[in-house]
Amino acid sequence: MSILTQIASGTAIPAEAIQPNPKTMQDVYDDAVKAGKDDEAKAIKRLADFFAKPLCDLPASVEWFDELFALTKSHRQVPGQDRRFWKSLTAYNKWRNKVRRRIEETLGEVEKEKERKARQDGWVPLLDLMTVLSKDGGPIHAGEVGGVTAFADRARQLNIEPLQLSPQTIDLLLEQAASEPLRRKNVRALQVLQRYQCIQSLAAHLPLEIEIDAARRRYENILPEHVEAWIEQMLETARRDPEKYDPTTGKYKDEWTESTVATYRSSLRTCVWSASIRSASLRTRHGCVREVQMQFDIEFDPETPLERAALRAVRTARGLVRGWRDAAINVEGLRLSQLAQTLERLEQGDLFNMQDETILDMLEKTLVKHLNEMREGYGTYALRKDTNHDDLFCPDLEKGKVLMERWKAFKSARQHVTDLRRARIIADQFS
């Protein structure tokens, strides 16, 4: 029986069948007045002036408010800047925080947040330990602790414990994020947890692996490592013309600037990612949907797989040499002249000189130690994990991270050439 039929027949309507009207900003204003918060009531009233509408026409929604009145760091991003609605950036942000908090109070979100914080779950020891490790020059940055604390609250809303951070729950966390900025914050917090799994005391509260990329791929243009390397090869070829190399200065004429390279890199990544998303789900003959990875077998000169692999190895070697010279890291137990000769050979494409085998091992150990000294365990972590999307809050560590990624690209490319050569020898034996 419908509610209208019940009204017409005089039947009593169950309380649970009556849907309450959604709250409006008028309710938020009234709530502030009842609480004696005149400053908050005055701030809320400004919304009616901003939209030239009564408060009862404006929804009481945190998501709606965040979308229209984001926290900004630039005066140019302040809403209503064209009519100078707020006197300053500081005034706007103070007003925003005041109104947002009152909306949360009226909707009961503050009480729910207090209840979640009071829980004695798996997040409590993890956050306590991270807080300790962020003090007195510890390996964890205080900003990272704040990000994980906020992430923990969002995970608690879905009743997800830290040990339950499986690919499925991570996908759920990203899918349920109220906005794109919140989704990015979730990813950054997960990256922090992934990064510090190398600290044994923290690893005890986390799963053995935190796999983020599979879920991120739905929302961000992240690409497989070999595709990233292919894009870098294209950019390296395009930005420097071998005929315009000046051996005196060691530079190329008309070389692209880093900003130009970054623009082309972004465009190429977006193009490839969009293509991969379009072909990500294929329907089989039986009608079931399965996920497939794109295969990027790009044909270009030189023609054979071994030649392509060798070309990639040569280019990654040059990238490593440039990065190492910029970083100027001292290699303990190695004379500068020896290091200079090795870097020179790598730059010239001599990648398999027996004189360099021991020195290359020393470079890797030195780089790992260099990063570990700046942040405990990070060098060991960076050697075995993809760190391209890590937010490190430290320029020197960021520079070291980039150098580590160049080292891994070179090492992988060099090994690939060796594998192809060995495979050809084995195949010839059976031909």
Residue 362 has pLDDT above 50, yes or no: yes
pTM reported for the whole predicted model: 0.46
Question: How far apart are alpha carbons 331 and 21 in whole angstroms?
Answer: 70
CB 404, CB 329: distance < 8 Å? no
Residue 313 has pLDDT above 80, yes or no: yes
Residue 292: predicted pLDDT: 31
Tell me the two tokens of residue 162.
Answer: 């830290």
pLDDT digits (tens, 9 = 90+) for 324-349: 988 888 888 888 888 888 998 898 88
Residue 353 has pLDDT above 80, yes or no: yes
Give one DSSP letter per residue of 20-69, joined into a string: PPPPBHHHHHHHHHHTT-HHHHHHHHHHHHHHTS-GGGSB--HHHHHHHS
Residue 14: predicted pLDDT: 55
- Model confidence band, residue 363 (pLDDT cutoffs 50, 70, 90): very high
Give Cβ neighbours of residue 57 (< 8 Å, ≥ 6 apart): 24, 51
Residue 66 has pLDDT above 70, yes or no: yes
- Model confidence band, residue 297 (pLDDT cutoffs 50, 70, 90): very low
* C-alpha 335, offset from chain centre: 39
- Model confidence band, residue 365 (pLDDT cutoffs 50, 70, 90): very high
More confident residue, 137 or 162: 162
301-337 exposure pattern, b = at least 16 Cβ within 10 A, e = fewer: eeeeebebbbbbbbbbbbbbbebbeeeebebeeeeee
Residue 392 CB-half CA count within 13 A:
20
pLDDT digits (tens, 9 = 90+) for 153-194: 888 888 889 988 888 888 888 888 877 778 888 888 898 898
Residue 284: predicted pLDDT: 30
Question: How far apart are alpha carbons 336 and 338 in whole angstroms?
Answer: 5
Query: Would you give the end-to-end CA distance of the chain in angstroms?
Result: 81
Q: Indicate the pairing of strand 289-291 with strand 281-283.
A: antiparallel
For 220-359, list the strands marked E by DSSP.
245-246, 251-252, 281-283, 289-291
Residue 116: predicted pLDDT: 80
CB 201, CB 129: distance < 8 Å? yes
Residue 279: predicted pLDDT: 47
Residue 285: predicted pLDDT: 31
Residue 368: predicted pLDDT: 93
Question: How far apart are alpha carbons 181 and 187 in whole angstroms?
Answer: 10
Place of tokens 């894009």: 231
pLDDT digits (tens, 9 = 90+) for 72-94: 777 777 888 778 888 888 888 89
For residues 386-391, give the mean pLDDT: 79
Residue 301: predicted pLDDT: 47
More confident residue, 64 or 304: 64
* C-alpha 91, offset from chain centre: 31
pLDDT digits (tens, 9 = 90+) for 260-288: 877 787 778 777 766 665 544 333 333 33
Residue 118 CB-half CA count within 13 A:
6
Place of tokens 């580590």: 404
Give the CA dihedral 340, 342, 346, 349, nearest 10 degrees: 110
Residue 84 CB-half CA count within 13 A:
1
Give Cβ neighbours of residue 71 (< 8 Å, ≥ 6 apart): 93, 96, 97
pLDDT digits (tens, 9 = 90+) for 215-265: 776 666 566 667 778 888 888 777 776 666 777 776 766 677 777 877 787
CB 322, CB 343: distance < 8 Å? no
Query: How far is residue 130 from each of residues 121, 217, 324, 339, 414, measured CA to CA in Å?
Result: 15, 28, 32, 39, 38
Give Cβ neighbours of residue 75 (< 8 Å, ≥ 6 apart): 81, 88, 89
8-state DSSP, 13: P
Residue 367: predicted pLDDT: 93
